[in-house]
Structure 1
Amino acid sequence: MIELIPAIDIIGGECVRLTKGDYAQMKVYNTNPVSVAMEFEAKGFKRLHVVDLDGAKSKHVVNDKVLHHISHHTNLVVDFGGGIKTQDDMDKALDNGAAMVTIGSISYTNPQLFGSWIERYGAERIILGADVRDRKIAINGWLDCTECDIMEFLAHYIEKGITNVLCTDISKDGALKGPSISLYKDIMQRFPQLHLIASGGVSSTEDILTLDREGIPAVVFGKAYYEGLIDIERLHKELKF
């Protein structure tokens, strides 16, 4: 069964969503992320993906207090990402309740530091953030695109022990036009051992069920939920989560 992971993206301490990673296309859905997290838990979810969008843009963790409040008011297993660039950022995330950290940019810009974190904390506590545009890695809150191919990038870190990967297709994120199923199928075909978390584009309950049928291990969704497009009762019935 596919693992269901709702998302809370934070700007200025508020629960927001962007469209295609564009900070100019921001919509506030709730001014209290903690209440949103508690709602997710009440509906039966066990995991939560928290993104510090302020941190991603400013290149250091900003919303650690929000993380702290979520982790202390729920029993959700929280993974936290956005702006983790230094050891201090790692400490802020883990000390404030993150069970796992999602790290993207540093894995590309400073692979030596990222490798040291894998050794220090264990691969099970680290999710490799592989954000892509046209199957090329994008970094720094998706503001900068590289020429690094997604498959080469994944192969490199799988050799170093990484098993958890969050792959977001930026062209799909927040657009409600369906996830990049072909991309995820290609990744799973090449790396069947991965716990791949699909992210970006989920627009309906059916999108989630399709990913499940295609054997994708996990999915993150946000905007579709906030826009009332996800039927939680149907997911409970069909996926028995």
Structure 2
Amino acid sequence: MYLLPAIDILGGKAVRLAKGDYAQVTVYNDDPAQQAQTFADQGATWLHVVDLDGARSGKPENLAMIERILARTSLKVEVGGGIRSLDTIARLADAGVSRVVLGTSLVADPAFAEAAIMQYGELLCAGIDAKGGEVAVAGWREGAGVAAEELVHHVAELGFQHLVYTDIARDGMQTGIDPAAYVRMAEAFGHPVIASGGVASVRDIERLGEVAASIEGVIAGRAIYEGALSVEEGVAACRLEWLC
């Protein structure tokens, strides 16, 4: 297990949404690159970045900022949001991104997703965001009418080896996580998953540690920004649970 502090970029700023609602935005830093540096200084080795503008528009809007983050830090960076072309993946790969997350395209453009995984393999990660068991797309604004576990099975068959699974109802709410949901998704996927949504404290990481065989990493955002979880204790808890 490893910790991935989250930076969601909207309008060039580091923000968090409540339950994926663009009308419920909290700005935490006017400079995402500076925020990334802070996370690195606190001991993070990975960073989860979402281009919220891109997720909403369907095309990358913050590539220059992502490139700034990569140039400023030595973090391994996972990026999602509006990635719907091979050219975009190529630019991110050239910039030094460690992992590219495909989300909406898994449902809206399966031919692209298949071509991408064939060309880029382990660079890619499936990003499946769900609410009430149904996949949400287009920046979480639309239901896809697809069961989450059905899509998880499909991306595994395509060859994806990494999966970020987000529980939208809990995301940005600090309500705590549901370990059983990630165990189910890991079983459907055939690989450990990256857990996202609802981390409220180090106790949630410890609870995921109890099912560590199903968990590759843990994404945390609002809890870190608001002081309920420090990067240092999150990194330590992930490392400890993985060694147990």
TM-score (norm 2): 0.92
Alignment of 1:209 onto 2:206 = yes
Match of 1:175 in 2: 173
Match of 2:226 in 1: 227
Structure 2, unpaired ranges of 5+: none
| Paired residues of 1:14 and 1:31 also in contact (CA < 8 A) | yes
Find the aligned partners of 2:173 and 2:218 in 1 and give their Cα distance. Answer: 16
Higher mean C-alpha deviation, range 154-163 or range 230-239: 230-239
- Look up the SS of the partner of 2:136 in the other structure: strand
- Give the superposition deviation at 1:240: 4.0
Match of 1:137 in 2: 135
Match of 2:99 in 1: 100
| Paired residues of 2:201 and 2:228 also in contact (CA < 8 A) | yes
Find the aligned partners of 2:239 and 2:133 in 1 and give their Cα distance. Answer: 33
- Look up the SS of the partner of 1:108 in the other structure: helix
Alignment of 1:79 onto 2:71 = no
Find the aligned partners of 1:24 and 1:101 in 2 and give their Cα distance. Answer: 26
| Paired residues of 1:65 and 1:96 also in contact (CA < 8 A) | no
- Look up the SS of the partner of 1:228 in the other structure: coil
Which string of whole-angstrom CA distances, capped at 9 and with x for unpartnered residues, describes residues 159-196 of structure 1?
A: 121110000111111011012322112223444x4130
- Give the superposition deviation at 1:236: 5.1
After TM superposition, the runs of 4+ consecutive aligned structure 1 residues lying more than 6 A away are: none
**Size of the alignment, in residue pairs?**
238
Alignment of 1:39 onto 2:44 = no
- Give the superposition deviation at 1:197: 0.4
- Look up the SS of the partner of 1:217 in the other structure: strand
TM-score (norm 1): 0.93
| Paired residues of 1:172 and 1:180 also in contact (CA < 8 A) | no
- Matching residue's letter, 1:117: A
Change over 3 Å in CA distance of 1:161–1:143 after alignment to 2: same
- Give the superposition deviation at 1:89: 2.5
Match of 2:60 in 1: 61
